[in-house]
Amino acid sequence: MLSPELEEKIKKIKILILDVDGVLTDGRIFIDENGLEIKAFDVKDGHGIRMAQRVGLKIAFLSGRVSKTVIKRAEELGIVDVLQGVFFKLEGYEALRVKYQLEPEEIAYVGDDVVDIPVLKRVGFSVAVPDAVPEVKEVVHYITRLPGGRGAVREVIDLILKIQGHWNNTMERYR
């Protein structure tokens, strides 16, 4: 059960910015002997991203690492804002805020590690996954039930769509 104050915060969200490793993935990185990097993404998270895009919610990826796998996944999902190699994530957050002329309260962010804290402290709706480091859990508005890479992103998107009143129209497509 969410507080009325948190529901009001969620109603204002226009963009969802997602950390990648530990949020869109379970945080593990597989690298074969040829240097090929493999990450696992949850298909339900991907479908949730598509549902969010259909109602006009912008989605962006913000990662401290650089990965061709992330570019490929973003292309599959039609995500144009993919900021990688951004260790100081506040810079990426500010670039997106300025690009879309948004106020901080119109931005949601999902993170899991200490590099995410500066952004989590500035957004209107901050979210952590259950296995986030304790310092992250201390500063967020919401902690998902589902883990990163296993439906956490979908959980957040479903929550936003429901609170913003998009859920019933979104579900009509599937009835």
Buried b (16+ CB within 10 A) or exposed e, 112-142: bbebbbebbebbbbbbbbeebeeebeeebbb
pTM, 2 dp: 0.96
Give the right CATH number for 18-165 from 1.10.3720.10, 3.40.50.1000, 3.60.21.10, 2.60.450.10.
3.40.50.1000
pLDDT in tens, 8-52: 999 999 999 999 999 999 999 999 999 999 999 999 999 999 999
**108 beta partners:** 16, 125
Q: Where are the domains of the chain?
A: 18-165
pLDDT in tens, 101-142: 999 999 999 999 999 999 999 999 999 999 999 999 999 999
